[in-house]
Amino acid sequence: MLKIYDLIILGAGPSGITASVYSARKKMDFLVITKDIGGQAAWSGDIENYIGYQFISGPQLVTKFEEHMRHFGIDIRMPEEVKEIFKDNDLVHTVTDKSEYISRTLIVATGKRPKELGIEGEREFKNRGVTYCATCDGPLFSGKIVAIIGGGNSALDAALQMVKISPLVYIINIGERLTADNVMVEKINSYPNVVIYNRTVVKRIYGDKFVKGLEVLRDDKLEDIALEGIFVEIGLIPNSDFAGILELNKDKEIIVDCTNRTNIEGIFACGDVTNVPEKQIIVACGEGAKASLSAFRYLYTHNW
C-alpha cells in the first residue's frame, strides 16, 4: 500500500526549493520530486538583483539554496520525471517515470525549458555547436566566434558571459531592438567585440561534424555568418505537459490565483510554470513560500 504524504512538491528550482524549506519548517510530511536542483537559476550568469547579494552567479546562488534545503534533511527523489497527475476522491496521485506517489496536497513548481528555433540543422547540431545554456557550456567555446539568438534578458546574459572569452559575439535579434533591461543593453554596447543584428531571422544552421555557420535573412538579403557556437535564447516553454487536469492559459502556463491555488482543490502551483507575470528568481522564491503556506492552510482547514 502506498504511503500518503501531506504534500508533494514537483520541481526544485527557486520556487520549489523555497516551498520545501517552508514546508519543512511547518513540519509537514512531504517529499520533493525533481529532475535536477536549481532549474533555470543554475543557468544564470551574473545576478545583481537578488536581495542580500550585490553580486552572485547563478550556480553559486543555487548552491546556497541547496545547502539550505539539505539542512532540513528534505526527502528528494531525483532524477525523476513527472508523467501524470490526477485526483482520486480527495487524494492527489503523482505518476513519474519511476514510481507513483499519493498526497493530500500538491505543489507544481516545474518551471520552464528553452524554446527551440525549429529550423534546419538545429537538432542535427545540438550539443555539436548548438546549445541552450551559456553558463553550462560557454567555457567550451573560449576563443571561438559565437552567436546568441535572441534579444531579451536571457540572451544578453549569455552574451555578457561570452564577450569575456570569445573574440567576436553576434547577437541575432528578430525584433526592431533589444528588449533586455537597459542596464544590460548599456553593458553589452560597451564591448567592441559585439555585433548586433536586429530585424534578422535565422534560416538554417550548417556544418559538418560541428557547427560552421548559420544563414540569416537580414534586410531581405540572405547572409552567411561563419562561427563555431550558437546559443539559443529565444524564450521558454512551461513544463506543464503532465498537468492535463489543471487549467492553463494560451501559453500553457498553469493559472493560479493570488494564493497559488489552481482550479483543482488541493493542488497549488508556483514559479515560472504559472501565469504570474514576472519571471524572476526572487519572484519565484516568494511564490514558493506562498504556495507552501497555502498548502499548509488547506491541510489544517480540512482537519488532516
Summarize pLDDT for 42-98 with one digit per residue, the tens.
767 667 778 888 888 888 888 998 899 889 999 999 999 999 999 999 999 999 999
Residue range 178-202: mean pLDDT, rounded: 96
The whole-number pLDDT of residue 302 equals: 86
The whole-number pLDDT of residue 265 equals: 96
The whole-number pLDDT of residue 39 equals: 83
CATH number for the 4-113+236-301 domain, one of 3.40.190.10, 3.50.50.60, 3.40.50.300, 3.40.91.50? 3.50.50.60
The whole-number pLDDT of residue 304 equals: 66
Q: Is 112 helix (H, G, I), strand (E, B) or coil?
A: strand
Burial class (CB in 10 A: 0-12, 13-18, 19+), 298: buried
How far is it, in rounded angstroms, from Cα 256 to Cα 260? 5
The whole-number pLDDT of residue 171 equals: 98
CATH T-level assignment (fold) for domain 116-232? FAD/NAD(P)-binding domain (3.50.50)
Neighbours of 129 (CB within 10 A): 25
* Structural contact between residues 110 and 11, judged by C-beta atoms closer than 8 angstroms: yes
The whole-number pLDDT of residue 25 equals: 96
Q: Is the pLDDT of residue 168 over 90?
A: yes
Burial class (CB in 10 A: 0-12, 13-18, 19+), 190: exposed
The whole-number pLDDT of residue 192 equals: 97
Residue range 169-184: mean pLDDT, rounded: 95
Q: Is the pLDDT of residue 135 over 90?
A: no
The whole-number pLDDT of residue 90 equals: 92
Question: Please, which pLDDT band fits residue 193 given cuts at 50, 70 and 90?
Answer: very high
The whole-number pLDDT of residue 277 equals: 87
Average pLDDT over all residues of the chain = 93
Higher pLDDT, 242 or 70: 242
List the chain domain ranges.
Answer: 4-113+236-301, 116-232
The whole-number pLDDT of residue 45 equals: 65
Q: Is the pLDDT of residue 134 over 70?
A: yes
Higher pLDDT, 175 or 48: 175
Same fold, 4-113+236-301 and 116-232: yes
Looking at the chain, the whole-number percentage of residues with pLDDT higher than 70 is: 98
Q: Is the pLDDT of residue 292 over 90?
A: yes
Query: Which pTM was predicted?
Result: 0.81
The whole-number pLDDT of residue 251 equals: 93
Nearest of 216, 252, 268 to residue 109 by alpha carbon: 268
Question: Please, which pLDDT band fits residue 290 given cuts at 50, 70 and 90?
Answer: very high
Asked whether the CA dihedral 169, 171, 177, 182 is positive or negative, the reply is negative
pLDDT digits over 178-187, tens only?
999 999 999 9
How far is it, in rounded angstroms, from Cα 99 to Cα 84? 11
Q: Listing from the earlier edge strand, what are the strands of the sheet with 211-218?
A: 200-207, 211-218, 221-226
Residue-wise over 87-123: b if at least 16 C-beta within 10 A, else e?
A: eeeebbbbebeeeebebbbbbbbbbbbbeebebebbe
How far is it, in rounded angstroms, from Cα 187 to Cα 206? 31
Q: Is 138 helix (H, G, I), strand (E, B) or coil?
A: helix
Question: Please, which pLDDT band fits residue 151 given cuts at 50, 70 and 90?
Answer: very high
Residue range 225-254: mean pLDDT, rounded: 95
Residue range 192-208: mean pLDDT, rounded: 96
